[in-house]
Amino acid sequence: MEKSMAWLKIAALGAAWAMVGAAQADVPTSREYKVLLKPALFADHPKNASNAYLADLKAALVSAGFDRSVDGSFAKDKERTVRFYDSPGSCQLRAQSYSFRERVSDKRESTLKFRSTSQSAAAGVTITGSESGADSKFEMDKTASATAYSRSTKQNFSNGKNLNKMKDVTDLYPVATGLGIVRDDPLVVVGGLSIWEKTYDGPDSDLGQQGADFTVSLWYLNENDSTPVVAEASFTVEASGGDFTNKVTQRSELIFNTMTQMSSWTAPAAIPKTNWVYQYDPSFCSTSQGVSTEASALAQPF
């Protein structure tokens, strides 16, 4: 119990740190718009289904008065294993608005991300990787349920690196503003989930000064499953220095609103992917002392 209280105090201090010096927030240089779709529609032939979705989206955009085109078609991009890690019971990362994700394909990649509905909170965070070539970004994520801002850093790391203690997170990311952990607490795959992910990309649209790149991401519980458990369509718009023109913003919002209104495809009751992972086994975020952290860890809208 004392250990649990200690890290909760650290977490409270960390949350305060995230707000320090953020009176004038940095501007996100990437915007990602995400819509959750009905997984059953992608059973058996996901590439064909992705392009059927694209055809319907193009038609809906014409009806909505979109003054640009969406070009290209979906083709398979990546297949990989995705795992999220946290401390069982206390969910120390989730409780502090952080997430730690591993992706494994022909290489092993980790990402540490801080996400908040407050732009200034995310802007006040610095995350530094331990490896040369670590890639950091500040982005806006928009879903039907919330707009969030995130600071993240990703890097490749060794196949021989064990992930079983909370200190492994801070070994990989020695600077993470406000993150307080109990270093020797266990680090475990959230919900025991090793997700098999397939992504499809290819379509794009010229929005003016910037362009939109479209992706379909499908999550499966097992590599050989025919029907995904999560399906998401998204598009990303990037601007160096965060210089998004009004026209680009207006066109992005029109595409997003059109996507959310495609009722034959959308899954309005579905929850964002990180939330889905944490809710897969709700007992993962319950302390052994019977004091549940589930409400605080899972109430986040992302």
Tens digit of pLDDT at every position of the chain (302 positions):
545 554 554 444 444 444 444 433 589 999 999 999 999 999 999 999 999 999 999 999 999 999 999 999 999 999 999 999 999 999 999 999 999 999 999 999 999 999 999 999 999 999 999 988 899 999 999 999 899 999 999 999 999 999 999 999 999 999 999 999 999 999 999 999 999 999 999 999 999 999 999 999 999 999 999 999 999 999 999 998 999 999 999 999 999 999 999 999 999 999 999 999 999 999 999 865 444 454 444 457 67
Distance of CA 99 to the CA centre of its chain: 9
Burial class (CB in 10 A: 0-12, 13-18, 19+), 289: exposed
Largest CA distance in the chain: 60
Query: Torsions phi, psi of 218, nearest 5?
Result: -120, 130
List, in order, residues 6 or more apart from 191 with CB less than 8 Å away.
84, 277, 278, 280, 281, 284
Domain coordinates in residue numbering, the chain:
2-298
| Residue 212 to residue 84: CA distance in whole angstroms | 28
| Residue 79 to residue 200: CA distance in whole angstroms | 9
Number of other CB atoms surrounding residue 216 within 10 Å: 26
Structure token digits, residue 23: 């009176």
| Residue 171 to residue 163: CA distance in whole angstroms | 10
Distance of CA 170 to the CA centre of its chain: 20
